[in-house]
Structure 1
Amino acid sequence: MASYMLKQPDGLIAIFSSVVDDFTYYDLTPEQALECGTEQWGRRTAQEKLDRALADERLWKPHTTDDGLGRWRESLKTIAFRHGIKHLKKVLEEIGQGDAEIPQEAIEAARDVESDMDHESEAYKSRM
């Protein structure tokens, strides 16, 4: 699975790439996500991916909560692990989400990321 769609906390849709471990699109309406997905995968696959995103179907393992944002949290955890808390904070700001939206599991995932050992990241990690 090179990329998948997921539901953002505000109900909009993002597309996450497991190649770059980051969002390639975000703040899409379902119609925009379907259009974008159709260009990438064809109409049928795009519709299937959108349906799975809206249902928050699990990707690999069961979600820890049933709030419809399991895929969202998994993507933030991956971004934090691969790119660090500082990058994740920047992404969330672009999407209009605040620092409080960084899930605990993303902070834990970033703990061992050596490339992100700056003062700002240490402040987030100290929340643990």
Structure 2
Amino acid sequence: MRVCFFLFLFLSTGFLEVSLRANPVSYEEIDPILTETWNATYPVAFTSIKKKDVLGKGIMVLRENGNLIYLYTFFVSFPRYHQEEGKLIADEENSKEILVKLYHRPYHKEKSYSIDLGEFSEKYNLRSVVRWIK
């Protein structure tokens, strides 16, 4: 009886993990999600997406506290702003490219996407990287 229970438990958790990572959103379909998450997080919108998949390896699958996380990387164009007569004016010609990391945590029901800005290095995530999805 115990063997059947442990076998069932092993197979069900393995199936759940496979089903969670079987169909992540591809880079072709992620644009509206990035825009929506950015607008919910920051008060100023970016101009355009300059580059997707910065390292060229695909979507990084990480393990955090036993759960799978999908990491997408982008370079987005962000205009520089200045004030004129108390109004915020965007300078589209002098835009800056910013590295954006979009995290997808499928186990979070309410807020499954989050954004982090800044540098990206594989060496910080080496222990938690499960695989890359092209």
TM-score normalised over the length of structure 1: 0.27
- Structure 1 or 2: larger helix share? 1
Structure whose CA Rg is larger: 2
More strand by share: 2
Higher relative contact order (CA 8 A, sep 6+): 2
TM-score with structure 2 length normalisation? Answer: 0.26
